[in-house]
A and B are shown apart, each in its own frame.
Chain A
Amino acid sequence: MVEPLLDVRDLAAGYAGRDVLFGLNCRIWSGELVAMVGPNGHGKTTLLRAISGLVRPSRGEILFAGKPLARLRPDAIVARGVVHVPQGDWLFPGMSVIENLLMGAYLPAAGVRVSDRLDFVLSLLPKLAERRRQLASTLSGGERRMVAIGRGLMAGGSLLMLDEPSLGLAPIVIDQIYEVVFALKGSGRTILLVEENAARVADHADRMLLLDNGAFVWEGSGPDLMVRPEIVETYLGG
């Protein structure tokens, strides 16, 4: 039995002393595309933050490639290969597109030249190449999202976590974003995705996890989820 890349055990975490996640268990294997769905405010972002180190868990363990992650600083966790593209992009507003991307590659990775990685990312997201010197605060929503994802890709890493990549974007732009995401999955990347619109990812995801009120209430494959109307209606708004 292959060891999971990410192993979350009995994780509890929250803000200002109040927990939002209660005893979560979750495992992700290398090469999977796992999508977390569920109503807003129930803990999906918190889980990603706990994994990337922005939030300290009050209980539980997180193992990445067998080694514990739970008490490390975020920068140490990134160094291990966990890349978090947060909800809302979190771009550096005073920096250009190129500078933002270069920040993604802040940590030196063995055997990879930053310029090569930059070329790769720009080839995947050609729109960014056109605007390379533009200030991040002047970009449109879709462009910002691409910079955020590009920045995540610049970091390399073995686990890519995307928090609501379609948030606030026009459908055409969402299509473009997901084209990139599915291409990455196709090339073997391990991706953990939070997505409000389950239907978008149902066909491509290896597994879907339904999070409700800080606990996983259902797990299965995409098509399985879509054929259960009660789940779809109750949790995903139809």
Chain B
Amino acid sequence: MTIGAMYAVSTIGLSLVYGSLNMLNMAHGAILTFGGYVCYAAMARVGLPSPLAFGAAILACGALGVLIYLAAAWPLLRSPNFETNIFIATIGIGAIIENAMLKVFGPYPIPQPLAVSGDFVVGHVHVPDQNVFILAVALALMALVAITLERSRFGRAIRATAQHRSAAQLMGVRVGFVYAQVLAISGALAAVSGILVSSIATLTPVMGADPMLKAFIICVVAGLGNVYGAVASAIVLGLMEASVQYLLGVRWSLATLLLIVVIVLIWRPHGLFGRSQEERQ
């Protein structure tokens, strides 16, 4: 459950970005890693208390998201192969960020200081407090995102831009700003995801690759661009991954995951809940 929730937080950001911009952000894993490290650095090296460190990581990654928009997405938006080009560009950007982390923090794993220790007992099962914390944070975030998207003017603008960009422009939506905001939100969510993931595992410069890949797979299975479907799939897949790891061993989890994904995609090429993108302008 916990794993699913962590993945869900990541996938929301990816899904939003793809839904609005048609952009697969391959730098997502690197941003995730960056967030984890910023939190660590804020706590261990600057001495900030954990809530502030948390906030610092979120702000830093949000800013990083906007930077990526300005440096890569905006110049490429006019090009004919936008999807392909931005994909490649974000791969490059991800490599840059990851290697910067490698240089600054070294290749050895560092424990994430933002953690909750202790556990409580439910029946015969020991549940670490950390997992509850993660679950709570993830749920809170998902609720926040859902409310923002559904109820606020700002969220409506994001949805409008994702559903029909030109129409949104005619309504007075400043589409460029929306894109930047979506990337900022995605960055912030990635930061949270990075902190959560590293609190269970450890901080390493390459920790972002695996969660990012899984988050993408989840998005693809749910149908790229469908945020709620992605969340549901994340939880289901998280559960599946845990059970496969328990039954077959860790190495087979990715393989089985992939097998499922391939089957789903052959049966439904647009994902379980996706819709074909003909309406997009």
Contacts and interface: CB of A to CB of B under 8 A. Distances in A.
A84 B170 contact: yes
Specify which of B157, B163, B174, B279 lies most central, judged by the most chain A CB atoms within 10 Å of its CB.
B163
Interface stretch (A24-32, A98-106, A168-176): A98-106
B260 interface: no
B157 to A, nearest CB: 7
Given A92-B160, A106-B153, A79 B166 contact: no
Nearest to B161: A92
B160 A107 contact: no
A194 to B, nearest CB: 15
A73 B172 CA distance: 9
A151 B171 contact: yes
A86 interface: yes
Contact of A91 (B156, B164, B169, B175): B164
Contacts of B96: none
A54 interface: yes
Tell me the dominant secondary structure on chain B's binding face.
helix
A132 to B, nearest CB: 15
B171 A103 contact: yes
Which one of B159, B160, B169, B171 has the greatest number of beta carbons of chain A within 10 Å?
B171
B170 A93 contact: no
Contacts of B172: 75, 78-79, 106-107, 155
B174 A103 contact: no
Contacts of B140: none
Q: Closest 9 A-B residue pairs measured CB to CB?
A: A90-B167, A107-B172, A74-B169, A78-B172, A92-B163, A106-B171, A75-B172, A75-B174, A103-B171
7 contacts: A52-B170, A75-B171, A79-B172, A86-B170, A92-B167, A103-B171, A107-B171
